[in-house]
Amino acid sequence: MYFHFTWNYGHKILNSYCIFMQVIMKVPEKDILEGNVVKVIFALGWPVMISTLLQVGYNMADTFWLGRWSSASNSVSAVAAMQLSWPIIFIMISVGAGFSVAGISLISQYTGANKIYKASESAGQLLSTAVIMAIILSLLGIFLAPLLVSIM
């Protein structure tokens, strides 16, 4: 059952990954190895840059709207609560990014070695691990939030 789940979803993830690579990453290998370093870094890094800018914009919008909340004391408390919770959220984002990088590395290696079945299996396992970790971190967050906030 688990294997069937990971193969089906892993195959879909791998297909999405391959489409993303074909559409976004139009940088030839020769340019990566011998081309202008700044141009190559920008060509490979712009999706991450856009993602980071969107995250910053999202946080700025949160701060803006919380700052305009009904009364001055409520808005100050709301912005302070958001800033206080950021380190905890950042730790969770970092854990997720670590799993993503590790999983994408495995998928890339298997894809490069033309082991599509293993790449699909790895993609499915990455998805399964992400779902399980999300559930675990959510439960920990629900039950440990008062303790973590009191420590900070």
Per-residue pLDDT tens listing for the chain (152 residues):
444 444 444 455 555 555 555 544 566 667 667 778 888 787 777 777 887 888 888 888 888 887 877 676 677 777 877 777 778 788 888 888 888 888 888 888 888 888 888 888 888 888 888 889 889 988 988 898 888 777 76
Please list the alpha-helical segments (H only) found in 25-115. 29-34, 37-67, 72-112
Can you give the residue range of the structural domain that contains 109?
A: 2-151
- Asked if residues 29 and 119 have their Cβ atoms less than 8 Å apart, the reply is no
pTM here is: 0.57
> 104: exposed, middle or buried (C-beta count within 10 Å: 0-12, 13-18, 19+)?
middle
pLDDT of residue 93: 81
User: 25: left (phi > 0), else alpha (psi -120 to 50), else beta?
Assistant: beta
18: Cβ contacts below 8 Å, ≥ 6 apart: 111
Alpha carbons 95 and 151: distance in angstroms, whole number: 21
Q: How many CB atoms lie within 10 A of CB 85?
A: 15
Based on the structure, what is the number of domains in the chain? 1
What is the rounded distance in angstroms from the CA atom of residue 125 to the CA atom of residue 22? 23
Q: What's the pLDDT at 135?
A: 92
Pseudo-torsion of CA 50, 51, 53, 57, nearest 10°? 130
What pLDDT is attached to residue 28? 67
